[in-house]
Amino acid sequence: MRMSCTCVVGLQWGDEAKGKIVDLLTAEHQFVVRYNGGANAGHTVVKNGKTYKLSLLPTGILSPPLRAVIGNGVVVNPVRFLEEVRTLQGAGIAIDPHNLAVSDHAHLIFPYHVEEERLGESDADAAIGTTGRGIGPCYADKVARSSGIRVGELLYPDHLRARLRQIVPRKNAILRAVLPTARTFDADTICDEYLGHGQVMRPFITDTPRLLQQALRDRQRILFEAAQGTLLDVDHGTYPYVTSSNSSTAGVWSGSGVPARNLTRVVGVIKAYTTRVGRGPFPTELNDGPDGIGEKIRKTGREYGTVTGRPRRCGWFDAVAVRYTAALSGADELAVMLLDVLSDLDEFRICTAYELDGRRITDFPSDAFLLERCKPVYETLPGWKREIGEARKAGDLPTAARRYVDRLAELIGLPVTIVSVGPDREQTILCR
Ligand code: GDP
Ligand code: IMO
Ligand code: MG
């Protein structure tokens, strides 16, 4: 028997406001699962006037009795895990092993991963513009096998020490070969530190695929919370300017152990415009200076990265890209976020096609170097020049705002079921 599970997935380059949608859907589910990424994510939720920022833990942890799960596809830095648990507990959120589980199969991020990433990113030509959290090197070790270490191994001191004594000297040699002044590490020091973290984490460490399989048998509903966006998916995104995991719905099955056929609802989250942090092609980017529309959107939308504080690159909505990601992630419906941010503009543009080497195309190119050469083809729609933060139903929106949302739905070919007009939970319009 298949269960009704939901996935909330970003259809752009991340920061689409997935956290707010997850928070809205928690009441309909008993479990919430992060299946990819790590503390590179930054999900902000505004609830009862309070702002919460989640990075490694699922946003659903804010809504007990929902049980939050860090799935096997996630990469875990124990320091960040414990920091986040303590910060949330300090903010009055009850967190204990009854409502939080972390997979024994999730891979561990070590300090040498962060150093490896720092060295890689210090080459301006090769840099991806990562969050610097050791995500990529950790996934690389996972796939390489001989140097990957999983959360469950924290509970076996002799075993962990033997593995680190084998791995760390090799890491040091590589680091020093890349840069003679690179940081190096002592296996026993790392081991002692991580064994300490392991003891605190012990009650949370679980065989999560088995936990979730049991949940399905108990007819519990599971909500999957994607990190990043589908355009950052390592297989389907704008490679190599992507993250190192499957951030589309493709990651659900491998990253949680729940067969994807249980997904009966995929909510594709989009901003009413586009943002991107880090390097990589972005055809609709607005590079129009300090007095331009790009900067206006950045200021109004407070478009600065949660994890790194970097200004997010801003641009017009790209329907070519979202048609591609909506199909890839199997989206059933769209949540259009941050519509209020556009309220002060005279008119908007939507990219409906690209011009590539003199030819008009409507299919998203499969290579970043080709996307780099694409020029957007726009259609223009009138603005509404009115605050919309108080709108609570579609009828409260100005006609031009409704027309804009309808046009997005038409171009993507999916219904818009949620429109968000502000960060607060109440600033939401349910369209069905
Ligand atoms: P996520 O990573 O996809 O969860 O998105 P982020 O949390 O990184 O970025 C979305 C930001 O927009 C957060 O600061 C939210 O509080 C905020 N936000 C969410 N919905 C709206 C909205 O409709 N309007 C405005 N102005 N802000 C919003
Ligand atoms: P949420 O879940 C936006 C970007 C980084 C960089 C690339 C690779 O909040 O939407 P990484 O550190 O993952 O190796 O960096 O991916 N990136 C994000 N951009 N939102 C995120 O998460 C991101 N997580 C990673 O900026 O370009
Ligand atoms: Mg974010």
pLDDT digits 0-9 by tens, 32-51:
999 999 999 999 999 888 99
Residue matched to tokens 């609570």: 392
Among protein residues, the one whose CA lies closest to atom 27 of ligand 2: 278
* Ligand 1 pocket: which of 338, 390, 397 to mutate (most atoms within 8 A of CB): 338
pLDDT tens-digit readout, 375-425: 999 999 999 999 999 999 999 999 999 999 999 999 999 999 999 999 999
Beta strands in 180-220 (DSSP E): 205-206
Can you give the pLDDT at residue 366? 85
Cβ atoms 63, 19 nearer than 8 A: no
* Ligand 1 pocket: which of 9, 25, 44, 339 to mutate (most atoms within 8 A of CB): 44
What angle do the packed helices 78-90 and 187-201 form, to 10 degrees?
Answer: 40
Instruction: Label the pairing between strands 416-420 and 428-430.
Output: antiparallel
Cβ atoms 204, 152 nearer than 8 A: no
Residue matched to tokens 């081991």: 191
What does the alpha-carbon distance between residue 145 and residue 135 come to, in Å, rounded to a whole number?
16
Whether residue 432 is predicted with pLDDT greater than 80 in this model: the reply is no
Q: What residues does ligand 1 touch, defined as CB less than 6 Å away? A: 10, 14-20, 42-44, 46, 301, 306, 337-338, 340-341, 420-423
Query: Residue 158 CA to chain centroid, in angstroms?
Result: 35
Cβ atoms 19, 45 nearer than 8 A: yes
What does the alpha-carbon distance between residue 94 and residue 283 come to, in Å, rounded to a whole number?
44
Residues 6+ apart with CB under 8 A from 156: none
Q: Which of 315, 289, 308, 370 is CA-nearest to residue 129? A: 308
Q: How far is the CA of 232 from the centre of ligand 2 (A)?
A: 7
Atom of ligand 2 nearest to the CA of 247: 2
Among protein residues, the one whose CA lies closest to atom 12 of ligand 1: 17
Is residue 1 very low, low, confident or very high in pLDDT (cuts 50, 70, 90)? low
Alpha-helical runs (H) found in 257-347: 293-300, 319-328
Report CA Rg, the chain. Answer: 22
Is residue 2 very low, low, confident or very high in pLDDT (cuts 50, 70, 90)? low
Q: 31: which strand partners?
A: 67, 222
Task: Give the active site residues.
Answer: 15, 43
Can you give the pLDDT at residue 4? 86
pLDDT tens-digit readout, 354-371: 999 999 999 999 899 999
What does the alpha-carbon distance between residue 390 and residue 402 come to, in Å, rounded to a whole number?
15
What does the alpha-carbon distance between residue 63 and residue 225 come to, in Å, rounded to a whole number?
14
> How high does pLDDT run on average in the chain?
96
What does the alpha-carbon distance between residue 195 and residue 156 come to, in Å, rounded to a whole number?
8
Q: What residues does ligand 2 touch, defined as CB less than 6 Å away? A: 10, 13-15, 40-43, 128-131, 133, 135-136, 227-229, 232, 243-244, 277-278
Helix and strand numbers, DSSP H then E, in the chain = 12, 20
* Ligand 1 pocket: which of 337, 345, 404, 425 to mutate (most atoms within 8 A of CB): 337
Residues 6+ apart with CB under 8 A from 390: 396, 421
Is residue 318 very low, low, confident or very high in pLDDT (cuts 50, 70, 90)? very high
